Structure 1
Amino acid sequence: MSSPLGTPRLLAALVLAGLSTGACATGRTLTDADYARAERFVNYKAIPLVDHAVTKVDWLDGTHFVYLDHDASGDRYLRMDTATGRAEPLFDQAKIAAALGQLAAGKPLEANKLGLQDITLTADGRYQFSVHGKTYVCSADATCTKPAAGKEPGALSPDKKSEAFIRDWNLWVRDVATGKETQLTTDGVENFGYATDNAGWKHTDNAIVEWSPDSTKIATFQQDQRKTGDMYMVSTDVGHPKLEAWKYPLAGDKDVTMIERVIIDVPTRKVLRLDMPADQHRSTLCDDVSCGSDGGWDDVKWAPDGKTLAFVSTSRFHKHEWFRIADAATGKVRTVFEESAKTYYESGIGRANWAYLPATHEAVWYSERSNWGQLYLYDLNTGKLKRAITTGEGVVTEMLKVDPKTRTVWFEAVGRQKGMDPYFSQFYKVSLDGGKPTLLTPEPANHDISLSPDGASFVDAYSTPSVPPVTVLRASNDGHTLATVAKADISRLQATGWVPPVPVTVKGRDGKTDLYGLMFKPTNFDASKKYPVVDYIYPGPQVGSVGSRSFNAARVDHQALAELGFIVVAIDGMGTPWRSKAFHDTWYGDMGDNTLPDQVVGLKELGKRYPWMDLTRVGIWGHSGGGNASTDAMLRYPDFFKVAWSESGNHDNRNYEDDWAEKYQGELTVDKDGKSNYDDQANENHAAKLKGHLMLVHGSMDDNVPLSNTMLMVRALMDANKDFDLLLVPNAHHGYAKDAPYVMRRRWDYFVRNLAGDTPPAQYQVTPPKM
């Protein structure tokens, strides 16, 4: 579950296999036109109707960035100069489209729909980007080539001249200009290889490395999975099926994945093994050693001169952290300071919030010891705390930059501004020497920040769930606006009848804590009617149900489902992040909780507030962790929730990867009588309580949450003589890919038929655009 069980872990698709409970519908008969009206509000139709919304910025250097400007005529890639505040076309898109079409075996590309991703500058000043998973390099005059590269993905060095990659369990480097390859390690063997990326739920060919600033050394590890248990998946094919097998440790396993840390000198190919025992394959941030969007190794940071390496070791159950420094020449390791937590330690939200400042013998460290995520300054000579850098209420979520010369930290945080939605992210700077942080983004909105490489300026796209984004370029010293980049226009979206979600606030299970969410109503809403309610749930603990508070024209398919005659609600319950440590720890060790007490009391409060919500007809759905929680809801609150649609759920965390459950449920312990602290969280142990309509959905090749999670539930329901529905998607992984539209339509049908008592149109064809 690393992003709705886990990013990463979100939507998917299926093939039917059913034990139908099918209640007879007695209400309306919906038509294709009704479904087509709902489909207008799905992401692939709604999002393209938002004009001039800057969704991503690619910095080329300290003073130039690229962004995508979209309107009814298509996409334009613009390059802004921060010195002048002027933007101009990045290149002639028609010529680029023609050149790329030639490289793609004559397959034409539309100039206004290029779909470029991750635009960067090469060492010789050309543009590199990916299109549909293929990498290209183009000059400004539209001379395009495919870079010399092998089949293995590479991790680029800071000087952009080399990339590290894995081949046959060993680490290699490839010269970007010539394609020449050099083998760095020779003793890598199967399941004991270098830089391998395998967290169980994720297994890729990416090399997990951290290059030194001068591009001469690589920090990585030799990952030992020789004793780790296996996971198996078998494909559905005509003829002999394909077996997929990989290492996948489970909660409670005696032997789990370990790493042996090494430093490799690239010119000499010398491998230096750090002088310490093998470490746990753990992170301060997520359930993998590589959590961030850049694909790097989050808890490892080089000194600017490359002579020392700082890293953080995490204990198996995430209760203990060790800040350590290694000598890159000798491999000697020194533990500088430690931190422990009664539940689990995390270093922030979105990135590992610690910094290594060897010039002043200091480190910036993140801790929730005060009940709020704050930054602290440590002395590396003594290992003692020097001071708190930030204090008070509110959570530092991401530390974007530390400048040792000016002794300034730039960070994002939530909940620091009184009278504002506590989930709105703001941007600040503060001195390492203490003092009040300076707010750089004053607007009461959610601010998406992209800081320039030199830290002198930042792009700020600010919005709310109901107000589209304004994107500006700001100075990092005081936040003043340098230039307006774009102002979003949603007039085309509004012309379809689109309405924004309604923010809602309710009290949590304790009757005191404010919980925040969004409510979606039909565009033809009639307050004199009674509407069935669908609760969308993702219980966390690493994210919540609502997601970002930035503007989004389509959040999952909430508005589309509402359009079919429902009130759709998403509430971030207690136990989800972005709030206090105590809030986040609400149901530590009790994962069967799943925020359900908050969902129930929150919906009941809304029902009293809004008489048009029919709380005799409440449904619930979710994917991954939400698939677990929605089934759980039917079993723990069978008289409240009447219908559930449960996708790809980790119904028993003993059948999910070790790091996830062992972080949030704790160590698996079994009593003499065979009972364990994991029994209650297992949905199959509550199967006999089912009363309403339950649809279980799973991909048969789900390599994140194995299919066994749902099959355990199926077995238990059959043993309890319960009726239920089952939809299996052949060969689908955790996300259902091409089958996702089919699954969505079936989900609509299920709630229309079983919750609203209406009849859906027969086999409505959802029509997403072809890629």
Structure 2
Amino acid sequence: MLRKFLLLQGGLLFALLTAQAQPTPRPNTVRPAEGPSLAMERGRAIFPQRPDSAPYQPTQAEIMQRYRKARMLDSIATRSIFKAAVHPHWSADNTSFWYRNILPDSVMEYVSVDMIHGTRRKLDVAPADSLPRRTVFQHYTGRRWGSFTTDSLSPDKQWVAYIAQGNVFIHPANATRAEAFPFTTDGDTAKPYGDLAWSPDSKYLVGYHVNPVRDSAVYYVLSSVAGTSRGQLRSHPYKQPGDPWTTYEMFVFRLDGHQKLKVNTPLVDFFAAPELHWRHNDSRYFTFERVERGHQRFRIIEVDAATAETRSVYDEKTNTFIYESRLFTYYLPETNEILLTSEKDGWQHIYLIDAITGIQKQEITRGHYVVRNIDSVDAKHREIWFSACGMNPDEDPYYIHYYRIGFDGKHLVNLTPAKANHIVTFSPDRKYYLDAYSEINVPTINELRRTSDGKKILELEQADASRYLAAGLRFPEPFHAKGRDGVTDIWGIIVRPADFDASKRYPVIENIYAGPQDAFVPKDFTSRYSEMQSIAQLGFIVVQVDGMGTANRSKTFHDVCWKNIADAGFPDRILWIKALAAKYPYVDTTRVGLYGTSAGGQNALGGLLFHGDFYKAAVASCGCHDNRIDKQWWNEQWMGYPVDKHYDEQSNITNAWKLHGALLLMVGEADNNVPPESTYRVADALIKAGKMFEFLPLPGSDHTDGGPYGRTRRRDFFVHHLLGVEPLNRNANEPL
């Protein structure tokens, strides 16, 4: 009976919203076969220029109705898109797989696919073996640091090395510690030796004299712990910009003669002890990687274990930054070669270098596009499997495609030819793959393809969004405009209310996150109903943009962030919104707000501080408002080292006195990501400057956008400050 009631209730909501939906066609009601170009054509036809449009200024009664409808749309949208994803459960013999579709009314559909014959059939029930197989591949997983032990048997099993009282000892494997030889005597428990690693031939042992650094703590108080009458103090180690690192002084211990040799290289004073790569069939030499603090130099250094002398095999320097987290290195010991990535030609590309001479043998990929990831390396066939974006000049430069290429830079195969954003899942034996491709306004298509030549074998599913569209909802629309240089395209998306009137002008709210570590505008079609869409239903145009300073474009595009986090791409974002308004007059650039969390919280407040002539209201959640207070690894990567005056000049705390517009600050009192004092110090500076603002501390909450309560407050805040209407008086228990 309960299920029957819920189905009936859902049907009534669906019927109500369908009846309320505008009969006018929507610009982004796009069937998969139509593609984005037709969507844009529809957009031009349906939303003509209306220079006489009036500002959208709803009454309180209209806003109340919008709240009610938004809540109903939120409910319906979460269960109105089907067949958007295929999650394969592979057979043991790699010839077939099955997957499950969740259909309307929670009906389950099971499908079996025969990859050899290219057929699919529906099953009555799922196979008994209903858990996906997990297979280990030779995938690239990134550079590693500090993967060593302190008690180690040599490869030839003749010797045991260990640390005792901070010093290095060694004894024959058939002997006891009583017969051990001390390689060092100057270590102790405060500054011990450690991180021992053997050479493959067991003639050398590498270790470090370590000067440990204990990170200082950050503190917070849990104000509302049940069963207590006092606030509970909490702390955890937290490294901030400028804080010291543990240092590692490298030594080679030669077993012949029991010699201890200090390696001729500076202290490793950034990150942990590096991984060692021994030369194939010659254990006299090994290499290690070194990223210098400040992120402006990356080296691969070779050590002669016999003499402890060193030389640089690879040495890259830059005037801005090297993005350490996206440095890819892959060692090919049998051929003494190294695959690595670099942005030295202005774009992220793959190079092949000689591991002995350091000579570049091949720039494997080349062009105005970005290698996003190395999926795997086939050393036998000398091929690389990778993903990249921007290779196709006539599509969104952020769209990811998957490729295969030879070490010689030839025989490039595009495994994902459709103009869209792609997600690929390989079969366990990598002979087949599933290609799921879509755009933000084009539902997902899932295909089965053959790896050897990329040939399509079978279309598996097309996402069904008919219920979503029938409810009057709209897909986001991609939009691009020129950035500050007048040349570079800036890409973003626009989200409209379900029932908006093109003859009105609507306030704009930007969902902002300008963290330089990535790009953030979504590219995939999704079955998840977004917060942006939910906010838009209240009577806003909601947008998201990737301005200069974010990643996944050229090095020049990315470098804008260097020692310049406060820029946040605002010159590009503002031009983008103005260009949007030039195309769609229902976009009101006199009423623009923005919101964000974490770095986005920093950006949201920064919009009011540095561009208060354009942005009128902001909600900033858990912001890293001063880059000296936030985590070391993130901030030194973009703001550089040492910590200099530019950190202070760009601080939201330092610039709090510049506040224009309406501001709501939120912070979780138990934030383990960005210390809560970052927001509290902004509040303190605003109070001292006599600025008015709203402040919402969230008891017990960690790093958050505010959760359900905070999101409600955010919507009410924008309704009040951008639409000029008092939101629902929730304390009066008025019904939605």
TM-score category of the 2 structures, normalised to the smaller one: 0.7 to 0.9
Paired residue type of 1:396: V
Note the C-alpha offset of 1:684: 1.4
User: Contact between 1:54 and 1:68, CA under 8 Å: does it hold in 2?
Assistant: no
Residues 587 and 37 (structure 1), Cα distance of their counterparts in 2 relative to 1, 3 Å cut: same
Q: Which moved more, 1:66-75 or 1:552-561?
A: 66-75
Note the C-alpha offset of 1:88: 8.2
Q: Any idea what SS the aligned residue of 1:34 has?
A: helix
- Identity within the alignment, %: 33
What CA deviation, in whole Å up to 9, does each residue of 1:570-591 have, x standing for no partner? 1110111111000110131111
Note the C-alpha offset of 1:94: 11
1:52 maps to: 83
Write the mapping of 1:339-358 to structure 2, written as runs, cut at 5 A: 339-346=316-323, 352-358=327-333
Note the C-alpha offset of 1:765: 13
Matches of 1:262 and 1:764, distance apart in 2: 69
2:711 maps to: 744
Matches of 1:597 and 1:342, distance apart in 2: 23
Q: Any idea what SS the aligned residue of 1:29 has?
A: helix
Note the C-alpha offset of 1:455: 3.4
Paired residue type of 1:596: F
1:690 maps to: 659
Paired residue type of 2:696: L
Cα-Cα RMSD: 4.6
Note the C-alpha offset of 1:332: 11
Matches of 2:274 and 2:110, distance apart in 1: 31
1:233 maps to: 220
Matches of 2:666 and 2:368, distance apart in 1: 41
| Equivalenced residues, count | 623
User: Contact between 2:279 and 2:336, CA under 8 Å: does it hold in 1?
Assistant: no
Q: What runs of 5+ residues in structure 2 fail to find an aligned partner?
A: 1-56, 140-146, 153-161, 167-187, 198-205, 253-261
Residues 62 and 466 (structure 1), Cα distance of their counterparts in 2 relative to 1, 3 Å cut: farther
Write the mapping of 1:381-400 to structure 2, written as runs, cut at 5 A: 381-400=356-375
2:674 corresponds to 1:705 = yes
Matches of 2:471 and 2:427, distance apart in 1: 37
Matches of 1:759 and 1:422, distance apart in 2: 42
Q: Any idea what SS the aligned residue of 2:648 has?
A: coil
Matches of 2:189 and 2:710, distance apart in 1: 38
Matches of 2:98 and 2:265, distance apart in 1: 44
The structure that has the greater radius of gyration is 2
Write the mapping of 1:422-441 to structure 2, written as runs, cut at 5 A: 422-435=397-410, 437-441=412-416
Higher relative contact order by CA 8 Å / sep ≥ 6: 1 or 2? 1
Return the TM-score normalized by structure 1: 0.71
Matches of 2:281 and 2:712, distance apart in 1: 56
Q: Any idea what SS the aligned residue of 2:61 has?
A: coil
Write the mapping of 1:436-515 to structure 2, written as runs, cut at 5 A: 437-515=412-490
1:246 maps to: 236
1:591 maps to: 565
User: Contact between 2:98 and 2:110, CA under 8 Å: does it hold in 1?
Assistant: yes
Matches of 2:97 and 2:211, distance apart in 1: 41
Given the alignment, which residue of 524, 540, 545 partners 2:499? 524
Paired residue type of 2:221: V
What CA deviation, in whole Å up to 9, does each residue of 1:28-58 have, x standing for no partner? 335665324324555x863543211226557
1:719 maps to: 688
Given the alignment, which residue of 304, 312, 320 partners 2:297? 320
What CA deviation, in whole Å up to 9, does each residue of 1:439-487 have, x standing for no partner? 2211100011223454333221100001111112222222112333332
2:548 maps to: 574
2:12 corresponds to 1:35 = no
Paired residue type of 1:746: R
Paired residue type of 2:444: P
Matches of 1:229 and 1:522, distance apart in 2: 48
User: Contact between 2:101 and 2:109, CA under 8 Å: does it hold in 1?
Assistant: yes
Note the C-alpha offset of 1:758: 2.0
Paired residue type of 2:295: H
Write the mapping of 1:271-420 to structure 2, written as runs, cut at 5 A: 279-280=268-269, 282=271, 312-323=289-300, 336-346=313-323, 352-420=327-395
1:616 maps to: 590
Matches of 1:315 and 1:448, distance apart in 2: 34
Residues 187 and 723 (structure 1), Cα distance of their counterparts in 2 relative to 1, 3 Å cut: farther
Paired residue type of 1:250: Q
Residues 329 and 382 (structure 1), Cα distance of their counterparts in 2 relative to 1, 3 Å cut: closer
Q: Any idea what SS the aligned residue of 1:401 has?
A: strand
Paired residue type of 1:733: D
Write the mapping of 1:134-149 to structure 2, written as runs, cut at 5 A: none
2:11 maps to: none
Matches of 2:647 and 2:100, distance apart in 1: 48
Matches of 2:133 and 2:275, distance apart in 1: 25
Paired residue type of 1:248: Y
User: Contact between 1:27 and 1:757, CA under 8 Å: does it hold in 2?
Assistant: no
Residues 335 and 668 (structure 1), Cα distance of their counterparts in 2 relative to 1, 3 Å cut: closer
User: Contact between 1:274 and 1:332, CA under 8 Å: does it hold in 2?
Assistant: yes
Q: What runs of 5+ residues in structure 1 fail to find an aligned partner?
A: 1-24, 98-115, 124-155, 159-165, 174-183, 197-209, 211-218, 264-272, 283-288, 290-296, 671-675, 767-771
Note the C-alpha offset of 1:342: 1.8
Matches of 2:669 and 2:121, distance apart in 1: 48
What CA deviation, in whole Å up to 9, does each residue of 1:365-385 have, x standing for no partner? 101111111111111121111
Write the mapping of 1:149-160 to structure 2, written as runs, cut at 5 A: none
Matches of 1:533 and 1:74, distance apart in 2: 39
Residues 516 and 303 (structure 1), Cα distance of their counterparts in 2 relative to 1, 3 Å cut: farther
Residues 715 and 66 (structure 1), Cα distance of their counterparts in 2 relative to 1, 3 Å cut: farther
